[in-house]
Structure 1
Amino acid sequence: MNAASNLNIAESDLIKGCLDGDRRMQQELYNRLSARMYAVCLRYASNTEEAEDILQEGFIKVFRKLDSYRGDGSFEGWARRVFVNTAIEHFRRKKYLQPVTEKEENTIEGKYVSVLDDLGEKDIMDLISQLSPGYRTVFNMYVVEGYSHKEIGDMLGISEGTSKSQLSRAKVILQDLVKKHLDAERNAK
């Protein structure tokens, strides 16, 4: 994933070369995207091995579906969507989520108070990675990717209410994790 990229190759030439089956262009595309797409995969995965599996599966899909890229919007944005969808499919196969009854949904309190301003990006990503796979996936889809609860429900095969409750619970857990992290930092000083 750390191979240097040749930025002298135009994106359109790179895509055409990949479509023509040019292995050098495929390697170049991998070099350009792998680090950023691996970061996307890590947000959804339980561990590095799972992220690497999602990354590999995502690149297979990118190469197979490359002819469907029409040039509307950025290529990286298109590829990112492929990787997010691959991660979501991977997640759905694992069946991490449990349905929530309407009564349970109505009792969930959104007590999340943002204290994330005091944390660095790495700290935040580390805390998010501590969430269970179900909470982490819904949190990433809603907060990071910008999906609605209806879209999340449709994509994961869960109800909109389950998506909302998973997000609410993720925020409560994150709040506790953030407080513990900040307390540990204060005590270390």
Structure 2
Amino acid sequence: MLRLIPFFTTEAQLIVALKRGESRAHKVVYERFAGKMLAVCTRYCANRDDAEEVMLDGFMRAFEKIEQFREEGSFEGWIRRIMVTESLMFLRKAKQWRLEIPMDEVTVEPDYEWADTAVNESDLMRLVNQLPDGYRTVFNLYAIEGYSHAEIAEMLGISEGTSKSQLSRARMLLQTNLKKMEQDFRNVSYEKTYRKAAN
């Protein structure tokens, strides 16, 4: 006899089932959010295997702490914050976010106009994922998650000055790599046009 998995018509019903510890609710949450949460973890853990492990730990933590969800914000946002925290814990254990030399001051300001360049999201995220771990972590927390430098400093155990300098360096490196990517694209396009004209 087939057992039907109940369909949770509202998020509130799903959360009630989670608080009861229903494994079927766990499955629904995983299937609904795994793709998005893996993307979050991958932004911090460049290695996909590490990101998947962190994501699974994050879901386990969410299921364990579900009583702490007060339904004052979005459920997805609550899970996302757990995923970010788990990612930072992983990086802290691996000591990967301390790879860059802390700097209290940056004397060169990045050119913020690079953000207006026509580049698709997947290319931009690929460039972000290529950043050194410390730069990538601060960039993600500030530019994508929306944390302040004071919050980032507290989360990572660094100074606000270090957070600001890591962000500035990340932006400058992104700008440099974006320009290089655009130049490579122009070179390839020119070569294709030249070959087509030659034939």
**Scaled by the length of structure 1, what TM-score is found?**
0.89
Q: Is the 8 A contact 2:142 2:152 kept in 1?
A: yes
Which secondary structure state, in structure 2, belongs to the residue aligned with residue 106 of structure 1?
A: coil
1:112 touches 1:175 (CA, 8 Å); kept in 2? Answer: yes
The structure-2 alpha-carbon separation of the partners of 1:70 and 1:127, relative to structure 1 and needing over 3 Å to count, comes to same
The equivalent of 1:84 in structure 2 is 84
The one-letter code matched in structure 1 to 2:46 is: S
Matched, 1:29 2:25: no
- Whichever of the two has the greater Rg, that structure is 2
Q: Secondary structure at the match of 2:46?
A: coil
Match of 1:62 in 2: 62
- The ranges of structure 1 where at least 4 consecutive aligned residues each deviate by more than 4 angstroms after the TM superposition are 5-8
Q: What residue is the counterpart of 1:158 in the other structure?
A: 158
Check the 8 A contact 2:106/2:165 in 1, yes or no.
no
2:14 alignment counterpart: 14
Structure 1: distance between partners of 2:67 and 2:152:
27
Distance 2:186 2:153 in 1: 39
- The whole-number CA distance in structure 2 between the counterparts of 1:113 and 1:7 is 47
Residue 113 (structure 1) aligns with: 112
For residues 54 and 22 of structure 1, what CA distance do their matches in structure 2 show? 22
Alignment-derived partner of residue 146 in structure 1: 146
Contact 1:58 1:86 (8 Å CA) reproduced? yes
Whole-Å separation in 1 of the counterparts to 2:164 and 2:26 = 40
Residue 49 (structure 1) aligns with: 49
SS of structure 2 residue aligned to 1:182: helix
Indicate if the aligned counterparts of 1:153 and 1:163 stay in contact, CA closer than 8 A: yes
Instruction: Flag structure 2 segments of 5+ consecutive residues without an equivalent.
Output: 190-199
Deviations 1:111-132 (A, max 9, x none): 2333233100000000000001
Q: Percent identity?
A: 41
1:86-119: CA deviation from partner (whole Å, max 9, x where unpaired): 112222222232563xxx4334322233323310
Query: Structure 1 residues 122 and 69, CA, compared in 2 at 3 Å: closer, same or farther?
Result: same
Whether the aligned pair in 2 keeps the contact of 1:99 and 1:159 (CA below 8 Å) is no
Give the RMSD, CA atoms, in angstroms. Answer: 1.8
Show structure 1 runs of 5+ residues with no match. none
Give distance in 2, aligned partners of 1:38 and 1:91: 16
- Partners in 1 of 2:65 and 2:49 — Cα distance? 24
